Each structure stands twice: as structure tokens, then as C-alpha cells.
Amino acid sequence: KDVRRLCEKAREIFRDESNVQLVSCPVTVCGDIHGQLHDLLELFRIGGSCPDTNYLFMGDYVDRGYYSVETVTALVCLKVRYSRRVTILRGNHESRQITQVYGFYDECLRKYGDAEVWQFFTDMFDYLPLTALVENTIFCLHGGLSPSVQSLDQVRAIDRVQEVPHEGSMCDLLWSDPDERTGWG
């Protein structure tokens, strides 16, 4: 019941955020956490706790680590409490399909006995912003650029409230990794 209320409150906040979320400096930018709760806590110990430090998290909060439920719960609690100080973007692991393969789904079953908590979180993931723009200068996202996106207005226009598609601009923004090839791979 508490997780449901938390996810509903977070969804309300994310619903009002843009696909290109504006972020002001100073901000600490953080990459993949992947269920590593102790690493997240160490990051706060070194970087400063909220609300004293602004944070931008660029996705992949769950899967692979042993504490995905606790990690994503902590981040969402911080977002709800300090919504203007914490920015949370969607990564490619904030998806139903990927979490069923890489551990978050199984962790929820193990810790709660059913998939209800997993469903609350994955429904909320659909509302996460896709990118951020720090000081109108630095473009931040989990994946990479897309050949089908030529402007920030095109990113703003993406309908993000869905499961991560297998192709297209939203997929590229969450999945594209750097490569040695030139041009669009």
C-alpha cells in the first residue's frame, strides 16, 4: 500500500515534467546505480545529502544488484520529498521487459511474494523524463543521440508514457551506446 502511494505521488510529479527537464547548477550528475544501494549511500556521503546537494540521476536504478527495490524506493522518496532538487531520468532498465530478464522482477517476487510492487514501479517508470538540459548547455540522457531527432523540440514531443519501444527515437535515447563506427550505426 505504501509503495503504491509513493509511486502514484511520483507519477503526478513526473507527469508535469518535460521530456527535456531543465536542471540548474550546481548539480551532481550520476550514472547507473543498478540496485547497488550501498554505492548510492556512499555517493550521498561523498557528494552531500539532499536537499543540500542537487542531483541528476541518468537512469538504470534497478537490475543486476541485490537491492533494486530499496535503491529505487530511496530515489523515488527523495524525488517526492525534494522534487526540485532531484531529477530522475529513465534508463533502458526502467522497462517491464528488461526488468523481467535482469532481476528486478524476481527481486520483487522474492521480497513481496507477488508482482504487485514491480507493477507499481514499472507503471511509474513510463512517466520518467527522457533527458535533461543542464543550464541550457549540457544535454544529459541515458543512451545516446538518435538520427531521427534533430532538435530538442522533437524530444519534447515524444510520447514517453509507454513501454520502451524496440526502435525509434525513444529507443535510441535510452539505448544508443558509443561506437567506433562513423555515422549512424
Per-residue pLDDT tens digits for 59-100: 999 999 999 999 999 999 999 999 999 999 999 999 999 999
166 as an active site residue: the answer is no
Largest CA distance in the chain: 50
Cβ pair 131, 29 in contact under 8 A: no
pLDDT band of 178, cuts 50, 70, 90:
low
Residue 20's H or E segment, with its range, is strand 20-23
Note the pTM of the prediction, 2 decimals: 0.94
Q: Alpha-carbon Rg of the chain, whole angstroms?
A: 16
Three cell numbers at 68? Answer: 533494486
Which position among 34, 38, 93, 142 bears the catalytic label? 93
